[in-house]
Amino acid sequence: MTTHTTTAAAQAAPCAGARWQGNSVSDIRRRMVDRVATALCWAATALVLLMLFSILFVLVRNGVGGLRWVTFVHVTQPPGQGGGLANAIVGSLIQTGLAVLIGAPVGLLVGIYLAEFTATDGRLINFVRFVSDLLLSAPSILVGLFIYMIVVVPSGHFSGLAGALALSMLVVPVVVRTTEDMLRLVPLAMREAAIALGAPRWRMILFVCLRAAREGVATGILLALARVSGETAPLLFTSLGNMNWSIAPGRPMASLPVTIYQYAGAAYADWTALAWTGALLITAGILMINITVRLGLGRNRK
């Protein structure tokens, strides 16, 4: 490497035309522009990192005081009575769990469809992929409105199940994306070997391809879980929230994001403190899932 540069410099130096270190006005201007642009790139990176650390700092500063035993075992209470977040935490776990249970199988099957059926359904597959990508970025509050109209209104009441259904609509496109990508990485030779051994296609797909891609697929499901566990907007009109202990999926159910939303704007100090604690819990959980997944992926790629 070093020898290479020295020879290049030695050849360039006598040549008057190649003024790579020239001192003419235009060359100085070019170097100045380059310096300024580089500095701005550093500044942009530093600014956004500062935002991240500012968010984490504020969360820890305002939320760490509420990390007490009471917060995890007591349900939400009227202001001044020392309530906790137990019902919200359990409600969030139930709803995100149900959402993944409903959404992940559908996402898996659609991912399989997109990756494995290209020869027969090529055109349609491109369209399905397109629609799935649209769903990935569709406004989540409209997903909540949709489930409100087709589940809450006909059934006559808000329910945890409706909340889980709304969240599952956000799980599906994430799982579709990763499943398709991971299945496409499975070598053709493995498929051919399975078929040559006499396996039908569905066995080849489920027990050879999906098995080979299982880590990546699991990663996608985890990321989907992380994404929906912080979603608030789809839950506002579906599971509504509940001040009391409620684990029945057929009834209105509390969840951490909705409780945070209700408490954050409240005028009572103990409610806003609980909102910050809830925010800290949920962010810590989501970031931990993300970091685990990224470290896991990094290890496998090496």
Partner 1 sequence: MERSATSPSALTGAVKGNGDAVFAAIVRCSAALILLGLGGMVAVMAWGARGAFARFGPGFVFDKAWNPVTQHFGAAAPMFGTVITALLAILLAVPLAFGIAVWLTEIASARIAGVIGTLIQLLAAVPSIIFGMWGFAVLVPFMAHYVEPLASHTLGRVPGIGTLFRGAPYGTGFLTGGMILAVMITPFICAVMRDVFLSMPAVLKESAYGLGMTRWEVVRRIILPWSRSSVVGGVMLGLGRALGETMAITFVIGNANHIGWSLFSPGNTIASLIALEFPESAVGSLKFSSLMAAGFLLMLISLGTLVCSRLLLRTKAAGR
Q: Which residues 220-239 are close enough to bind partner 1 by CB under 8 A?
A: 226-227, 229-233, 236-237
- Strand boundaries in the chain, DSSP class E: none
**In angstroms, what is the minimal distance from the CB of 20 to partner 1?**
4
**In angstroms, what is the minimal distance from the CB of 191 to partner 1?**
5
Amino acid letter, residue 207: F
Of positions 199, 212, 218, 243, contacts partner 1 by CB under 8 A: 199
Sole residue written with tokens 């809830």: 278
**In angstroms, what is the minimal distance from the CB of 53 to partner 1?**
9
Of positions 13, 67, 73, 142, contacts partner 1 by CB under 8 A: 142
Of positions 157, 211, 214, 294, contacts partner 1 by CB under 8 A: 294
Give dist(CA 58, CA 209) in Å, integer.
45
177 binds partner 1 per the rule CB under 8 A: no
CA 205 → CA 58, 78, 91, 202, distances in Å? 47, 54, 36, 5
Of positions 141, 218, 243, 273, contacts partner 1 by CB under 8 A: 141
List Cβ neighbours of 151 (8 Å cut-off, separation of 6 or more): 159, 161, 162, 165, 238
Give dist(CA 210, CA 203) in Å, integer.
10
Of positions 71, 167, 174, 191, contacts partner 1 by CB under 8 A: 191
CA 22 → CA 9, 14, 36, 37, 223, distances in Å? 13, 12, 18, 20, 52
215 binds partner 1 per the rule CB under 8 A: no
**In angstroms, what is the minimal distance from the CB of 260 to partner 1?**
6
**In angstroms, what is the minimal distance from the CB of 163 to partner 1?**
15
Nearer to partner 1, 42 or 245 (CB): 42
Are residues 112 and 275 in contact, defined by beta-carbon separation less than 8 angstroms? no
Backbone angle region of 139, left / alpha / beta, with phi > 0 → left and psi within -120 to 50 → alpha? beta
Of positions 145, 218, 243, 273, contacts partner 1 by CB under 8 A: 145
For partner 1, the binding residues in 6-45 under the rule CB under 8 A are 18-20, 30-31, 33-34, 37-38, 40-45
Nearer to partner 1, 203 or 211 (CB): 203
Site string for partner 1, 96-135 (x = CB under 8 A): ----------x--xx-xxxxxxxxxx--x--xx-xxxxxx
List Cβ neighbours of 191 (8 Å cut-off, separation of 6 or more): 204, 208, 209
Which segment (57-65, 76-84, 85-93, 245-253) binds partner 1 by CB under 8 A?
57-65
Give dist(CA 90, CA 75) in Å, integer.
10
For partner 1, the binding residues in 237-266 under the rule CB under 8 A are 237, 257, 260-261, 264-265
Nearest to residue 234, comparing CAs of 147, 149, 132?
147
